[in-house]
Chains A and B, each alone.
Chain A
Amino acid sequence: MESNPTEEISTESGQPSRAADLGFSLLLIPVSLFLAWYALRISSPAIERGDATFYTAPGFLILVVSLLILVLTVFQTRRLVRGKPPIHPVNLKEIWAILTSRRSLKPCLVFTYLGIYMWVCWGNIPGTTIRIPFWLGSFLFMSAMMLSFRASGWIRILIISLLFSILIDTVFRHVVEVPLP
């Protein structure tokens, strides 16, 4: 059976596709090798000073774990490569098409909103002394997210966001006295 390379990377079912799985496994191999090297690097000063033996050095468990990850990843890669139907080579054009598809852009949008919201909660806006109150930041975040994903009509969204942000600010700050950003 001929399989579509585009579907191989991203499937609508939400299940990981084999090509993406393989790509990740291949990425894990150098990551685990780097971690093994890092473990040896942080262990050597303690061993040289005579503070630790190889087994009790700070990086020993990191070394063991990274080597285990490497072994498991090799098995995982082997399973994926040997599986049927064979995985087609995917070119850059197809990867770009997938990355710019609606399905891929939605999580990026959510993470962008989350990132901005958490950045606003961090403290003052960089370079200024302006600090957005938590309730206002939450209101803007919820409204923007719901409006972008067309969760409901805009008036309803604004009312829900405003009521919820004031409610949680009041409940957490004043009733249960939890520190808020």
Chain B
Amino acid sequence: MSLLDKYLETSFLFGQFTWEFISLETLLWMLGAVIIGILFGTLPGLSATIGIALFAGITYGWPLQLALVVLLGVYVGAIYGGSVSAILLNIPGTGSAAATCLDGHPLAMSGQASTANTLARTSSLIGTLFGLVIFLFFTPLMTRIALEFTSPEFFWLAVFGILICGSLANPEYPLKGWIAGLFGVLLALVGLDNLHGAERLTFGIDGLLSGLPFVPMTIAFFGIPQIVKSMQETQPVVVQAKSLRATPLLPVLKRNLRNILKWGGIGTAIGAIPGVGENIAAWVAYDDAKRNHPHPEKFGTGVYEGVMAPETANNAAIGGSIIPLVSLGIPGSPPTAMLLAALMMHGIRPGPMLEQDHPEIIPQLGAILLWATLFLFICGLLMTPAMVALLKIRRRIIMPMIAVLCVIGVFAYNNNPFHLSLVFVTGIFGYLFDRLGYSPAPLILGLILGGMADEMFRRSLLIHDGNIIGLVNRPLSALFCLACVAAVLKQLGVFKKLSSERKSQSSTP
């Protein structure tokens, strides 16, 4: 099938699914999921990843389409929800809303809380729709390219994803991010080796023979540490915004139309880099908005573009991060890592063959994203007062409830009580890791990609009779290998050192 035929087929199926979803049951599930997502995003400490991890377990036995409706609804809702507490309380509900605090909260404090909220909501809507269009357009293209990939390319891609995620999750000390990612790879190797049937890292525990499950592990490394931390911390005083006066926004949007598209592009592109995700997308877009603004010095005092840029980018990253998920089988962000786990739980293996094996999945995901975005806009409009009230509830009341939901999520995954003890033990490690500044994101990515890296690595060596050159003897694999080396050298400051040495040499007579 030619690429044009593929586009036509995808467009047709997309339209069909969009129409099919207009049923009371589906729309009600979607509405509920978006509301839950917004609540998860609004509450500091909870995030899109935790929300999706919880519901991935709960929706395990459900039909795939319904499970995707709920998971994507939670995802889209949570990414937007983070902006509400960022604007009203100066506390980002999710990591991706951290950049929104800088100008969103000053706007709220100057009496423009409603304006800031509307800007965030509108930008989120445009961003998600932009990401959706790019997702539908680029996925077939990316899949074609991915079909050319062989074992070494997939191996290097997994390594690259873990490296980049490690660097960006711990920007000050990338070594910590890489160590966390490597531990994730080790966790992925727990269980029976599928090549020789040897037990690896099980230490005689039978429950570990089938490996470590993604969803309970995510709850252990993201959810449990957050519950413990939130119970320890005293909640900051809620500062109410002065008023909810709204300013006409159409001129602001018109003026920034080009920029919005640019921020959407930034968000989608960064979202598509394996393991990077919404948080980085928001910061890069904020930085771009500041650099290209006529008054960059005003950023941080309540500039509209300071809210629009991160909110457009972090929502556009949703579509972007699903591109590598469905075309390569590599998640673009921690929440999509959970989506990957959910798809695999339902017997769907994302990757280059997905388009052939399940041609309906890509347009289905697109249609769900479209509906979730529309619900997000409506719910965001209606729920702001409720969210402000929710933010006043002490986290020490909410977190025990979340702990109960975590237990349900772990147990519902496959009704195995052993997983409860596994989550408890790994939760302690997760908490210590978090306290020592090791981000859980590269660890989870390592856990997800580790199995693939191991399989592809050994398969490449088997094909090439154990010759290590087999990992780099194709142009694409050599390119990916170079990208990995460059990522490490860049983080270690080698390029900076070289350029400063060159400068000092050229300045000396």
A residues at B contact (CB < 8 Å)? 14-16, 20-21, 24, 28, 35, 38, 42, 45-46, 51-62, 65-66, 68-69, 72-73, 75-76, 79, 103, 106-107, 110-111, 114-115, 117-118, 121-123, 138, 141-142, 145-146, 149-152, 157, 160-161, 164-165, 168, 172, 176-181
With A114-B224, A157-B397 given, can you name 6 additional A-B contacts, CB distance below 8 Å? A55-B466, A61-B454, A62-B186, A73-B179, A146-B397, A179-B415
Q: Which residues of B in the span 179-209 have a Cβ within 8 Å of any Cβ on A?
A: 179, 182-183, 185-186, 189, 193, 195-196, 198-201
B182 and A179 contacting across the interface, CB-CB below 8 Å = no
B461 and A56 contacting across the interface, CB-CB below 8 Å = yes
Asked if B257 is at the interface (CB within 8 A of a chain A CB), the reply is: no
Q: Which residues of B in the span 431-458 have a Cβ within 8 Å of any Cβ on A?
A: 431-432, 435-437, 453-454, 457-458
Q: How far is the CA of A45 from the CA of B199 in the complex (A)?
A: 12
Q: How far is the CA of A68 from the CA of B182 in the complex (A)?
A: 8
B420 and A164 contacting across the interface, CB-CB below 8 Å = no
B421 and A110 contacting across the interface, CB-CB below 8 Å = no
CB distance from B98 to the nearest CB of A (A): 15
> Which one, A42, A161, A178, A181, contacts B420 given CB within 8 A?
A181
Mark interface residues in B452-481 (1 if CB within 8 Å of A CB, else 0). Answer: 011001100110001010000000000000
Contacts of B411 in A (CB 8 A): 121, 179-181
Contacts of A60 in B (CB 8 A): 458
B5-13, B15-23, B401-409: which one contacts chain A? B401-409
Query: Which of chain A's residues has its CB closest to B406's CB?
Result: A114
Closest 10 CB pairs of A and B: A151-B396, A58-B198, A58-B193, A142-B400, A145-B400, A16-B437, A118-B420, A55-B461, A55-B466, A16-B436
- Interface size for chain B: under 10, 10 to 19, 20 to 34, or 35 or more residues? 35 or more
B residues at A contact (CB < 8 Å)? 58, 61, 173, 175-176, 178-179, 182-183, 185-186, 189, 193, 195-196, 198-201, 224, 227-229, 231-233, 394, 396-397, 399-401, 403-405, 407-408, 411-412, 415, 417, 420-421, 423-424, 427-428, 431-432, 435-437, 453-454, 457-458, 461-462, 466, 468
B179 and A76 contacting across the interface, CB-CB below 8 Å = yes
* Contacts A145-B403, A181-B417 given; does A42 touch B175 at CB 8 Å: no
Contacts of A16 in B (CB 8 A): 435-437
CB distance from A19 to the nearest CB of B (A): 11
CB distance from B428 to the nearest CB of A (A): 6
> Which one, B201, B428, B466, contacts A111 given CB within 8 A?
B428
* Contacts A76-B179, A164-B404, A165-B404 given; does A110 touch B231 at CB 8 Å: yes
A117 and B461 contacting across the interface, CB-CB below 8 Å = no
> Which one, A20, A72, A165, contacts B179 given CB within 8 A?
A72
Query: Which of chain A's residues has its CB closest to B412's CB?
Result: A178
* Contacts A55-B468, A61-B454, A103-B232 given; does A110 touch B404 at CB 8 Å: no
A65 and B182 contacting across the interface, CB-CB below 8 Å = yes
CB distance from B313 to the nearest CB of A (A): 27
Contacts of B175 in A (CB 8 A): 72, 75-76, 79
B396 and A149 contacting across the interface, CB-CB below 8 Å = yes
B195 and A58 contacting across the interface, CB-CB below 8 Å = yes
Interface of A is mostly: helix
Contacts of B400 in A (CB 8 A): 141-142, 145-146, 151, 161
CB distance from B115 to the nearest CB of A (A): 33
A151 and B412 contacting across the interface, CB-CB below 8 Å = no
B423 and A118 contacting across the interface, CB-CB below 8 Å = yes
* Contacts A65-B182, A69-B182 given; does A121 touch B454 at CB 8 Å: no
Question: Could you write out 27 A-B pairs with CB less than 8 Å apart?
Answer: A16-B436, A20-B435, A38-B201, A46-B198, A56-B466, A57-B196, A58-B193, A60-B458, A62-B186, A65-B186, A72-B179, A111-B427, A111-B428, A115-B424, A117-B403, A118-B420, A118-B421, A121-B411, A122-B421, A138-B404, A142-B404, A151-B400, A161-B400, A168-B405, A178-B61, A179-B412, A180-B411
Contacts of B437 in A (CB 8 A): 15-16, 21
Q: How far is the CA of A61 from the CA of B449 in the complex (A)?
A: 13
Q: How far is the CA of A26 from the CA of B453 in the complex (A)?
A: 28
Query: Which of chain B's residues has its CB closest to A35's CB?
Result: B186
Q: How far is the CA of A123 from the CA of B417 in the complex (A)?
A: 8
Q: How far is the CA of A56 from the CA of B195 in the complex (A)?
A: 9
B196 and A114 contacting across the interface, CB-CB below 8 Å = no
Contacts of A168 in B (CB 8 A): 404-405, 408
CB distance from B411 to the nearest CB of A (A): 5
Q: How far is the CA of A12 from the CA of B431 in the complex (A)?
A: 16
Q: How far is the CA of A52 from the CA of B458 in the complex (A)?
A: 10
Q: How far is the CA of A117 from the CA of B420 in the complex (A)?
A: 10
CB distance from B431 to the nearest CB of A (A): 6
Query: Which of chain A's residues has its CB closest to B401's CB?
Result: A164
B186 and A66 contacting across the interface, CB-CB below 8 Å = yes
Query: Which of chain A's residues has its CB closest to B461's CB?
Result: A55
Query: Which of chain A's residues has its CB closest to B409's CB?
Result: A178
CB distance from A70 to the nearest CB of B (A): 10
CB distance from B302 to the nearest CB of A (A): 27
Contacts of B195 in A (CB 8 A): 52, 56, 58
Query: Which of chain B's residues has its CB closest to A164's CB?
Result: B401
> Which one, B396, B397, B427, contacts A114 given CB within 8 A?
B427
